[in-house]
Structure 1
């Protein structure tokens, strides 16, 4: 269903503190204006579908006329990965380099667009929530109202998740802003987290229970509980975080995939690589029961995305095609840009993975490259990865989970986008959230038990309680979730952003200052908010 923007521009103007108030005076005469649309169940279906599209657009690069949101530049997802203990860049994109090199400022583009993403998504959720309380709505079923409210409240919490991770104390806005305001104040992070918890508890109580009874990509209570576990961890509520994660695991609605499955189960590979093959994400079509919430990256369909909606494939694949003895091939990941390159400390280490760990198999980390240009004298020979090629992002060891995503575009390996559905939440991470909660509660045996569920599927050795530390957990999340999780957010929650970035990343070590623990508030926000004090984050004044 195609997104209906429903007054989005007006709301965005308010929530990004624009100095322009003309939007407030417009009459929304379109048949898709909120007053005309939010009158029955179908109208709310349209609006809620827009929330899914908006959330998916967090990865959007260059945009497009039908996109709900765009960062307006490449690499928005990558800036939350580079400069950490996970990766640096092999690409000279200036907007990415400032995050890689810790030289961003309150004026940097993505500092502003992630703020707009969070408040734009929250604003659209607020609109649905407010209109759903109006009288005389023609609901098809008695449960429609609470169902739509549950989805909206999930997405509102999801929006504030980014805002508090990146900026700390932020204005909490839970109503449509009908009057032009320049007097916003910063709400303490703890208070914002409390509102997020309330939203997710409501969502968990009112979203569907059966993941087999909803359309692909639709939320269930288990997605809400998974996110609730993380938010409880952010709030230091570890017993509650443990309980939320256990509810997901003990529901028996999901399971770690341990046997080959999906479209490629008879091809070379292993079960971990199967998780990331194209068309293997949705449970109804592939049998994947590990995925809890799957973002639908549908190309060239009504309500779907375009080439700029997701570039993760290009991000993690090196620029091998710049070497004359290579040609672009889908088996090598297509036309990569090396926007993200795994740091050698973990991907080159002989000890980071156990010898039997399938997450380190040739199907999941590509270390051996063979010249594939049939016109080259070196055709079929193994390429030696030189320091020059690695520094240029042309050849390097690389995770393969993002090699896929061109089939829906006709299999063109030069295609820029990635139309593979994206597992946003999966059960392996729920186990690791459970381990984190138990570790924080000093239950190291319980934490080891949770981690070992993930490691057993990977055929790695089981660990003992004495081995469980935050550092070990951070390492395990790389082994399992590299490229899937937003690494900056994870390290921030674990309290390890400074320590591990400095330890493992030369760029961070050279330039670290404690102001980087939070991003700066966008300068235009501070400049426009003339009616109340709006302090900048520490060190960015």
Structure 2
């Protein structure tokens, strides 16, 4: 379990912020924290750095898969991401503004540290370098998200004076280079591991893993492979033998976890069990899988369902990659000793029931083994930000795309797909002999390994396949069990989506930001 002292520091920092930070932090005034009564001790510095971590977890981040072909959200509260997915969003849609504000608050908090930490008297140089490294990492992560979502964005690296509030967008390429330079600069100032009392803080491996991600997302193939290999060579991380335990709160200190948004029961919980759980688990079934995700899982012979002789449309969940039923609740799945079967008459989880899934599927991934408290405090399971599985697949994809295909590519992929409890057939030169076959494999592997994490949105954008996978009919389960419904003997139609390739590969600059910042311009098509 995560060490309680870390969360208590975080909680204290949050309470401090609530008491003293009433202004939006994306426009942070000079007097916000940098005043004469603060920055007088190491404790001040540690508390301010620790407070930045809370921005890693938010409703918006947890709902992000609902903007992809993986998931659907039936309600526009607390997040109106449904409009983003179906193509009806406008610059005033709340999702855009909420992401923008949250990420720039994270940037502003980090800038507060980089601008003011020198004021702490007699701060140990090693501790200072480490705290600066943590703050700069968290700022770099925010900019990775911002550039991936919005493209060109303002690059703000210090606390703004009022006359600096109107600021132009910085070209994405410049922001990306800033991110990479920052991560290179801090990696040697961060420890490879921490004592248990400090578990959860940013490490050297985290800086390198994020750097590899940014290099991959920006098609710097050689650099991405080399950086991912540095993480692999640290010898700190390994693939966990229990996939589901990474997400249900049972394995918070797994050696696969590089960075996570962390929670603790009764001290710092989250509502994610409410958003993702079925009604029989006291959930609202608000984030649910779609058929397109279900279909992505191979059969146990390692072939896609449209190629495998093992696939039976009448028994579609049999003989499939075990990650399918580790990730998704199919009819008859047991979760926390409760059987969820939407085909059973009278089931509270059935199609059309209050708070029931619109697709007929639920996620099992991220349902905590312990659900307690009210709807807003139902879970203490941590939310993944970076995992070692991503590092391995980053290494493999970068080598594939750079044409440097060797046995290490297959080994990296197989570490992920052959973890204990999954044990899918190994990829080999016989099954995947060339770049095209490996590219198809690595993309499918990322698809089925990372549902409800944020990878899919960035993947369909950088691969330029969003225009293929997003528009059209978003479908759910095949209804061969409820003859009272109009979709009997058909796939459930969840919604019809639109995607404009000339517009929707970038989110719009939020309408509120356009009105406040006279120097910023709107993204094309919005």
Q: TM-score range by the shorter chain?
A: 0.7 to 0.9
In 1, distance between residues paired with 2:327 and 2:22? 42
Indicate yes or no: 2:98 matched with 1:86.
no
- Check conservation: 1:406, 1:412, Cα contact below 8 A: no
- Check conservation: 2:259, 2:384, Cα contact below 8 A: yes
Q: Corresponding residue for 1:73?
A: none
Deviations 1:366-421 (A, max 9, x none): 2133899xxxxx999788997656996167333312121645xxx45866532112
In 2, distance between residues paired with 1:427 and 1:382? 42
Give the SS at the match of 2:125: coil
Q: Corresponding residue for 2:338?
A: none
**1:409-488, aligned counterparts within 5 Å?**
411=372, 417-445=378-406, 446-457=408-419, 458-463=422-427, 464-466=432-434, 468-488=437-457
* 1:275 CA drift (Å): 2.9
TM-score by length of 1: 0.76
Structure 2: gaps spanning 5 or more residues: 1-8, 303-318, 336-340, 476-494
In 1, distance between residues paired with 2:395 and 2:299? 22
In 1, distance between residues paired with 2:95 and 2:513? 14
Give the SS at the match of 2:283: coil
Give the SS at the match of 1:425: strand
Q: Corresponding residue for 2:264?
A: 298
Relative to structure 1, is the Cα distance of residues 415 and 257 closer, same or farther in structure 2, using a 3 angstrom cutoff?
A: same
Q: Corresponding residue for 2:483?
A: none
In 2, distance between residues paired with 1:392 and 1:159? 34
Q: Which residue of 484, 494, 497 maps to 2:463?
A: 494
- Check conservation: 1:369, 1:383, Cα contact below 8 A: no
* 1:443 CA drift (Å): 2.9
In 2, distance between residues paired with 1:351 and 1:390? 33
Q: Corresponding residue for 1:180?
A: 163
**1:122-161, aligned counterparts within 5 Å?**
122-134=107-119, 137-139=121-123, 141-161=124-144
Q: Which residue of 312, 317, 324 maps to 2:277?
A: 317
In 2, distance between residues paired with 1:176 and 1:420? 34
- Check conservation: 1:439, 1:468, Cα contact below 8 A: no
In 2, distance between residues paired with 1:341 and 1:87? 5
> Number of paired residues?
462
Q: Corresponding residue for 1:264?
A: none
Q: Which residue of 232, 255, 260 maps to 1:289?
A: 255
Q: Which residue of 358, 362, 386 maps to 2:322?
A: 358
Q: Corresponding residue for 2:61?
A: 77
In 2, distance between residues paired with 1:351 and 1:47? 46
Give the SS at the match of 1:536: coil
* 1:229 CA drift (Å): 0.4
In 2, distance between residues paired with 1:203 and 1:448? 31
Deviations 1:50-107 (A, max 9, x none): 1112333xx14xxxxxxxxxxxxxxx23552224221223446482331232111111
In 1, distance between residues paired with 2:187 and 2:286? 37
The root-mean-square deviation of aligned C-alpha atoms, in Å, is 3.3
Give the SS at the match of 1:293: strand
* 1:484 CA drift (Å): 2.2
Indicate yes or no: 2:194 matched with 1:223.
no
* 1:180 CA drift (Å): 3.2
Q: Corresponding residue for 1:535?
A: 521
Deviations 1:414-444 (A, max 9, x none): 6653211233222111111112211221234
Q: Corresponding residue for 2:366?
A: 402
* 1:450 CA drift (Å): 1.9
Q: Corresponding residue for 2:332?
A: 369
Indicate yes or no: 2:183 matched with 1:204.
no
Relative to structure 1, is the Cα distance of residues 214 and 472 closer, same or farther in structure 2, using a 3 angstrom cutoff?
A: farther
> Higher mean Cα deviation, 165-174 or 206-215?
206-215
Relative to structure 1, is the Cα distance of residues 207 and 300 closer, same or farther in structure 2, using a 3 angstrom cutoff?
A: same
> Higher mean Cα deviation, 154-163 or 458-467?
458-467
In 2, distance between residues paired with 1:277 and 1:519? 31
